Structure formats: structure tokens, C-alpha cells
Amino acid sequence: MIINTYKYSGAYSLILLHEKHLKLFLDKWTEAKKINLALPETTDQDYESLETLLRHVLRSARGYMVWMCEKLELPDPEIDDPPSLENIEQQASSYIDHLVEKWKTPLSDVEEVKFSNKVYNSNWGVPFCIDAMLEHAVMHPIRHAFQLENLIKDNRR
């Protein structure tokens, strides 16, 4: 856990929530993997397999922080790319540790006003302020963990 040295405590809270929910997502993903859960058929490449879903969540977590740093003109947070699909299962936990470490400080010296005073287009074209992107980053692993949880329940019926 990081000690709150943030100028904006809202960012601090969201970063802690992001860490918590990335780890909870991995727990739910691991549960799905243990039962060899089949994902529903879709044309979405991120849902081709459990491995592509896991890589999607980890790649997105990296992308959110890189995007925020770019928009705020902060230094590159130097977050490694996520593991390859072939190694994702074995390296996911250590990669999450890396993400958590790299998410700790980039936004700590940013004044509160900069989190909501300007809107930027996301990489997928939707406008977000920095605060909204942080909230989106928290909800992303929650949403996918929830989807897996429901699929696991359906699989047990």
C-alpha cells in the first residue's frame, strides 16, 4: 500500500481501488481457468479466450496510466507491455505487481483541478477528464470480473 502523499486524495483512493480490483479480477479469472470456462462466442478479439481477456485487462490498465500521463504532459510511467498470450497465465500476478508499482506515483503531484478541468479524447474516441478515466480504470476489472462470475454461475447450473 502506498502512503497518501497525493495532492488530490481522490486520485489516491482510485489508485488503491484499481490495485484491489485488478487483483480480484485475477482471482476470478483463475477460478474461471480452473474450470476451463468457455467464453461465449463473439467477434471481439479480446474475448477469444480466457488468455486474451486477461491480456485485455492488463493491457488496458497499462494504457490508462500511459494515456493520463500523456494528457497531463507527465513523464512516461515506463510500464512494461503485458506478457504474451503464451506466458500470460504464468506471469499475470507478477505483471500486476509491476502495474501496481508503476501506478503509485505518476499522478501524486498533480493538483486536484487538473483532474477535472479539461476533457480529452480517449484512445477509443470517447471524451474523458482525468478523474473519469481513473474511475473507468477502476471499473474495467470490476466489470470483467462480474462477467466471469456470472458465466461461472451459469456453468455450474
Residues 79-137: tens digit of each pLDDT:
999 999 999 999 999 999 999 999 999 999 999 999 999 999 999 999 999 999 999 99
pTM: 0.95
Residue 3 pLDDT exceeds 70: no
What count of residues does the chain have? Answer: 157
Residue 64 burial by CB count (10 A; 0-12/13-18/19+): exposed, middle or buried? Answer: buried
| Cα distance between residue 87 and residue 85, in whole Å | 5
| Cα distance between residue 150 and residue 145, in whole Å | 9
What is the CA 15 to chain-centroid distance, rounded?
10
Report the percentage of the chain scoring pLDDT > 70.
97
What is the CA 31 to chain-centroid distance, rounded?
19
Q: Are the beta carbons of 22 and 16 closer than 8 angstroms?
A: no
**What is the maximum alpha-carbon separation in the chain?**
50
Give pLDDT, residue 155.
Answer: 85
Residue type, 80: D
Residue 2 pLDDT exceeds 60: no
Domains in the chain with CATH codes: 9-156 (1.20.120.450)
Residue 5 pLDDT exceeds 90: no
